[in-house]
Chain A
Amino acid sequence: MEAVKDIALGAMRPPARSWRRRLRLALLDRDIQRLIVNIALILLIGTVAHVAGGGKFFTVRNIDALVIQISVMTIIACAMTLVMVAGAIDISVPGTVVLSGVVAGLLIVHGLPMWLAYALATATGVLVGLVNSFLVIAIGITSLIATIGSLYVTQGVANLLTNGLPIIGLPLSFADVGGGYVAGVPIPLPIMLGVVATFVAIQKLTRFGRYTVATGSNPQAAFLNGVNVKRTLTLCFALSGAAAGWGGVMYASRIGNPAPVVDNDLLFQIIVAIVIGGTALTGGQGSVLGTFVGAVLIGVVNQSLNLLGVSTFWQYIALGLLLVLSVGSDEIMRRNSMREFRRRLFASWKGRVGPSS
C-alpha cells in the first residue's frame, strides 16, 4: 500500500528500470495477483486430488484427458476475452460451434478434403462474427442481445442443414484434431497452446490489443484520440467467431459425429473461465493469460472430482462455488488493503454514531 501511495504521489526514485521495481509494480497488478492465486489453487486442488485419489492426478494419462477436455473451451475463451475487454460479449459461440461442426461434417461427407472443410468451417465462424459486429455496430443492438439472436439463428441453421440429425459416414481420421494422439501427445495440446500464445501476443504486443482496452475502458475518449472503435470491435467479433468456428471443428471431432445440439454448458464454462481469470464484465480490464489459467482451473476442478468419483451434480455445485469465491475474493482484494478496509468501516461507524455529522 505504501508503494501505491509513493507511486501515486510521484515520490518514488527516478524510474530506474530495475527488476526489483518491475517486480514491485507487477505484484500490484490485479491481473498478476489473480494469476498467482489461481495457479496456487490449481496446485492445491491438484495435490489434494493426487493424494486422495491414490496418486492418479499428476499422471500423463490424466493430464492428457484434462487437456482434451478443456481445449475447445480454452481456445474460444481466449478470443472472447478480447471481446469482453473491448466492452462487449459474444453469447453466440455455442451456436457457432454447432454450426461450424455441422458445416465441416457435411463438407467432408460430400467429398471435400478435410483441411478445406476445416478452413471453410472456421470461415463460417468468421462470418457469424462479422454478422454480430454488424448488428452491434451498424444497427446498434447491445452485444448481449444481438449475439443471443445469432445463437438461436446459428442453431436453427445447423438443424436445417442436417434435419436435426447427427451426421454419419465420416472417416475415422475426423476424430484426430479433437482427441487424437501424435507421438504420444494429444493433438489438441499443441493447438491449444498455440492459440493461447497467439492471443497473448495479440493482446500484449499489438496496437489492436491496446485498442481493445481503450475501446472497452472509455470508447468516447478512444474515439477522440483517433482510435477506430468500430474496426476494433469488428475485429474482436471476427476473432471470436473464428475461434468458435475452429473450436466447433475440434468439438465435433471429439464427439465423433457432428450433431446440431447446442452445448450451453460450454458457453457458461467459457464465461466462468474468463471471469475467474480476472476479466471485468465492464470492459477495459482482463488478460488472455488469466483466462487460460482460469480454464485450466476449471478443468482441474472437474477432473479432480471425476477422479475422486464425485457425481456430476456435485461438480455443478463446485463450479458455482468456485466462481462466486473467485469473484468475491477479487472484490476483497480490490479494497487494496485491510487498513483501507478498516478505515472505511470505521468511517461508516463514526457516521452512524457521531451526533455532529
Chain B
Amino acid sequence: MAERAGEAEMRGRGASLGPQSSASKFLLETRGLTKHFAGVVALSRGDFQLRENEIHAIVGDNGAGKSTLLKIVTGALQPDAGDIIFDGEAVRIADPTAARALGISTVFQDLALINHLDASANMFLGREILLPAPLAWFGVLDKRAMRERAETEVRRLKVGVRSVDQLVAGMSGGQRQAIAVARAVAFGTRIVVMDEPTAALGVRETAAVLDLILELKEQGLAVMMISHSMPDVFKVADRITVLRLGQTVATVGTNETSLQDIVGLMTGAFGSERTPAPEPATPGR
C-alpha cells in the first residue's frame, strides 16, 4: 500500500495523465481508494463507478467515508492509495483547480458563494472574462460578456433567478443553490459533484433543486451526489452506492432496490456476506 502511495506521489502535480491507462467503460472510476487521518481509517476500500449521464447517489451513515471519497474525487484531498480513472485514463487530481480542468465541478455543501458579489461575479469567480489586449494586461473585466453568459446559463438551467446582477446575499436558499450549480456546470463540465444539495432547504426549494439535478442529466451531464435524504435520493438517482465504515458495500440500481434494503446496507443489518472482514487498520501511514 505504501508503495502505491509513493507511486501516486511520483506522478507529479496537476491533473497529469498517469503512465498506464486502464481500460474503463465508466466516465469516472475509483479503485481501492484509501485514506487515513492520523491512524484513523476514513476510507479503506473506496470503489465507485460513475457512468456517463447518470445521477449517482452516495449514501452511508456518518463516518462511512462519503465525504472523504468526494473530497478525493474533487481534488480537495489526496488518497493514500488507490486509483482514479477518468475517461479511461488514470489521473491524479492535485487540487480543485485540476479537477475543474478535467471537467469535474463541485457544488460545495456551504455553496462557497461570495455574499458581497452579484450572481454573475460569483459564477465567473476565478475565471473572469477580460476585455481585449491592452486592457487585459491590467485585468480589466468584461462585465457585459460575463453577465450575458451568466444569463444564458441561468436560463438554460431554467432556474428561478431573473437577474444575475443582484447580490447573492439577498437570494433565497434555493436560488443560491441554483447559482452554485449554474457556476459548476457553466464551463465544459462533464461531472457535477454535489455535497448534500438539499440539506437546509425548505420543501419547495428542495423540489426545485431536485428538478435542477434532473435538468443536469437532461443536459447530458453526470451527477455524483452525497445525500442523507433517502426520499430525495430515490426521487432522482439512477444508481446508489452504499458506503459503510469506509468501504463500498454495494452499488445498486434505484429501481431494483427499496428503502429498507438501502438502510439495511447502510447499517450492516444485512448484506454482510458482501462485506469482507475489515482489514486491520495500518498504524500511521
Contact = CB atoms under 8 A, between A and B. Distances in A.
A and B associate in one complex = yes
Interface stretch (B38-46, B126-134, B262-270, B273-281): B126-134
Interface in A165-212: 205-208, 210
Given A206-B138, A214-B117, A225 B126 contact: yes
A121 to B, nearest CB: 25
B114 interface: yes
Interface string B158-192: 00111111100011100100000000000000000
A12 interface: yes
Interface string A204-234: 0111101001101110111011110000000
A25 B166 CA distance: 8
Contacts of B128: 207, 210
Interface string A1-15: 000100111111111
B30 to A, nearest CB: 21
Given A7-B170, A8-B170, A224-B108, A14 B162 contact: yes
Interface string B235-274: 0000000000000000000000000000000000000000
A290 interface: no
Contacts of A284: 114-116
Nearest to B163: A15
B171 to A, nearest CB: 6
Contacts of B116: 213, 216-217, 284-285
A25 B125 contact: no
Interface residues of A, number: 30
Contact of A226 (B100, B138, B140): B100
Contact of B125 (A7, A206, A225): A225
Nearest to B151: A15
A310 B249 CA distance: 81
A210 B130 CA distance: 12
A208 B136 CA distance: 12
Contacts of B166: 7-8, 25
B82 interface: no
* Interface size range of chain B in the complex: 35 or more
A226 B162 contact: no
Given A15-B162, A207-B141, A222 B171 contact: no
Contacts of A12: 162-163
B115 A218 contact: yes
Interface string B106-125: 10101111111100010001
B67 interface: no
Contacts of A218: 112-115
Contacts of A213: 114, 116-117
Interface in A117-154: none
A205 B144 CA distance: 12
Contact of A224 (B112, B117, B162): B112
Contacts of A227: 125-126
Nearest to A205: B140
B108 to A, nearest CB: 7
A334 to B, nearest CB: 12
B127 A220 contact: no
Interface in A13-71: 13-15, 25
Contacts of B60: none
A150 B12 CA distance: 40
Given A226-B96, A285-B116, A205 B141 contact: yes
B27 to A, nearest CB: 23
B129 to A, nearest CB: 10
A10 B130 contact: no
A210 B141 contact: yes
Nearest to B96: A224
Given A7-B163, A12-B163, A225 B112 contact: yes
B139 interface: yes
Given A207-B139, A226-B96, A214 B112 contact: no
Nearest to A285: B116
Interface in B79-96: 96
Contacts of A11: 162
B102 to A, nearest CB: 14
Nearest to A4: B170
B97 interface: yes
Contacts of A25: 165-166
Among B96, B113, B163, B170, find the residue whose CB has the most chain A CB atoms closer than 10 A: B163
A18 to B, nearest CB: 12
B125 A226 contact: yes
Contacts of A208: 139
Contacts of A4: 170
Contacts of B160: 10
Contacts of B106: 224
Nearest to B161: A10
Contacts of B140: 205-207
Interface in A281-325: 284-285
A11 B160 CA distance: 9
A226 B187 CA distance: 14
A210 B139 CA distance: 10
A11 B110 CA distance: 25
A203 B161 CA distance: 26
Pairs of residues from A and B, 4 with the lowest C-beta to C-beta distance, nearest first: A226-B126, A221-B112, A284-B116, A207-B139
Given A217-B116, A217-B117, 13 more contacts: A7-B163, A8-B170, A9-B172, A11-B162, A25-B165, A207-B130, A210-B121, A213-B117, A214-B125, A218-B114, A222-B114, A224-B96, A226-B100
14 contacts: A10-B175, A25-B166, A206-B139, A207-B130, A207-B139, A210-B125, A213-B114, A214-B114, A221-B114, A224-B106, A225-B125, A226-B126, A227-B125, A284-B116
